[in-house]
């Protein structure tokens, strides 16, 4: 009607801080969602290149914090900077998405979570696989009881590279797996034990295995390495009634498969009864886009993100316990020579 004011809500405006190997994917995704307002990077040339590509501003972090038209910040900087940048963004009244891990120290993460509460702003942690259609379907299988009581879970996240020196393979690879396992079990582990080995850079573990025991009964382990001959991303869940495998390297038709194997006891001896695999039908989508959209939806509605600050803090507490166990393990020692 003539004279009627336009009351349509303004689209959320997001600044991405860090345009590196993973941050550039956030830049691309938010540009596709129509929410990208600015990019920030320590290298001005990198920031300007992305700004030119997507027609947005290249800014400094301080400029983003001072800009009242920017509603939210995505922190995709090196892990050592996550807590500092997130706390500053929340202090400036920005909704904040932080790539994993939320911080490198539990006390720093606790400060970030407290800052989110104080500012009454959305804090979300980038545990990407929680938004993968295969994991969401797996969560439904567990919640419905179709797998029975959880017995054992294990995850392998293996590749050749990307080698890091500011964080070890545990902190680089395992947050995704720990996030999934804690979500499926629904509790934090009562016991955490880890072992690992250094082969490349002094004191930076290239290979780690973390073992978890849960008070309700399940056990789990997470094996991560960036010194592996091929890429593997697999989560196996063993229940009393069935087993499920989420293999992200497979095509969509086989990313999530259920096995209804059973055990027959004959003369006091267990015998496996094998069943055919049953692929689970999935709705194909891009997990990162779904994750970013979830962040935007939570900003709009005030809902709590699936991977909020409390969830990120739970994962961090397990990581910290694993790191402490890793450092006390007799098998963890700097290299005496080269890789081979």
Domains along the sequence of the chain with CATH: 14-121 (3.40.50.720), 130-285+317-328 (3.30.360.10)
Q: Give the position of tokens 């290298």.
A: 43
Task: Write down the pLDDT at residue 332.
Answer: 55
Task: Write down the pLDDT at residue 240.
Answer: 95
Which segments of the chain does DSSP mark as H helices, in order? 23-33, 44-54, 61-66, 82-91, 106-119, 133-144, 169-185, 287-301, 309-328
What is the chain's Cα-based Rg?
A: 22
CA dist 261 and 229 (Å) reads: 30
Joined tokens for residue 321: 């316990």
Please report, in tens digits, the pLDDT of each residue of the chain (340 residues total).
Answer: 344 444 556 789 999 999 999 999 999 999 999 999 999 999 999 999 999 999 999 999 999 999 999 999 999 999 999 999 999 999 999 999 999 999 999 999 999 999 999 999 999 999 999 999 999 999 999 999 999 999 999 999 999 988 888 789 999 999 999 999 999 999 999 999 999 999 998 789 999 999 999 999 999 999 999 999 999 999 999 999 999 999 999 999 999 999 998 888 888 899 898 989 999 999 999 999 999 999 999 999 999 999 999 999 999 999 999 999 998 875 555 554 444 4
Task: Write down the pLDDT at residue 4.
Answer: 45
Task: Write down the pLDDT at residue 333.
Answer: 54
Around Cβ 176, how many Cβ atoms within 10 Å? 25
Task: Indicate yes or no: pTM above 0.85.
Answer: yes
């Amino acid at each position: 009607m003539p004279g009627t004011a336009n009351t349509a809500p303004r689209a959320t405006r997001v600044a991405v801080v860090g345009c590196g190997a993973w941050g550039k994917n956030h830049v691309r995704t938010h540009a596709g969602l129509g929410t990208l307002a600015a990019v920030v990077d320590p290298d001005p040339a990198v920031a300007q290149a992305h700004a030119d590509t997507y027609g947005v501003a290249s800014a400094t972090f301080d400029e983003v914090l001072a800009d009242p038209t920017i509603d939210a910040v995505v922190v995709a900087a090196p892990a050592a900077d996550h807590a500092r940048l997130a706390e500053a963004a929340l202090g400036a009244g920005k909704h904040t998405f932080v790539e994993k891990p939320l911080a490198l120290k539990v006390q720093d993460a606790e400060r970030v979570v407290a800052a989110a509460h104080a500012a009454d702003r959305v804090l979300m942690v980038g545990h990407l696989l929680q938004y993968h259609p295969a994991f969401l379907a797996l969560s439904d299988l567990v919640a419905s009881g179709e797998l029975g009581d959880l017995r054992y879970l294990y995850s392998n996240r293996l590749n050749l590279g990307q080698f890091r020196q500011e964080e070890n393979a545990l902190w680089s690879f395992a947050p995704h797996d720990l996030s999934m396992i804690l979500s499926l079990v629904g509790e934090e582990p009562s016991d955490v034990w880890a072992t690992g080995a250094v082969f490349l850079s002094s004191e930076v573990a290239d290979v780690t295995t973390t073992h978890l025991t849960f008070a309700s009964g399940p056990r789990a382990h997470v094996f991560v390495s960036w010194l592996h001959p091929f890429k593997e991303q697999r989560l196996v869940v063993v229940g009393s009634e069935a087993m499920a495998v989420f293999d992200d390297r497979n095509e969509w038709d086989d990313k999530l498969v259920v096995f209804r194997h059973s055990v027959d006891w004959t003369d006091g001896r267990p015998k496996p009864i094998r069943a055919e695999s049953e692929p689970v039908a999935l709705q194909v989508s891009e997990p990162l886009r779904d994750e970013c959209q979830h962040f935007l939806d939570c900003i709009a509605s005030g809902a709590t993100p699936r991977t909020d600050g409390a969830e990120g803090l739970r994962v961090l507490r397990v990581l910290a316990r694993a790191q402490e166990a890793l450092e006390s393990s007799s098998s963890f020692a700097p290299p005496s020579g080269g890789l081979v």
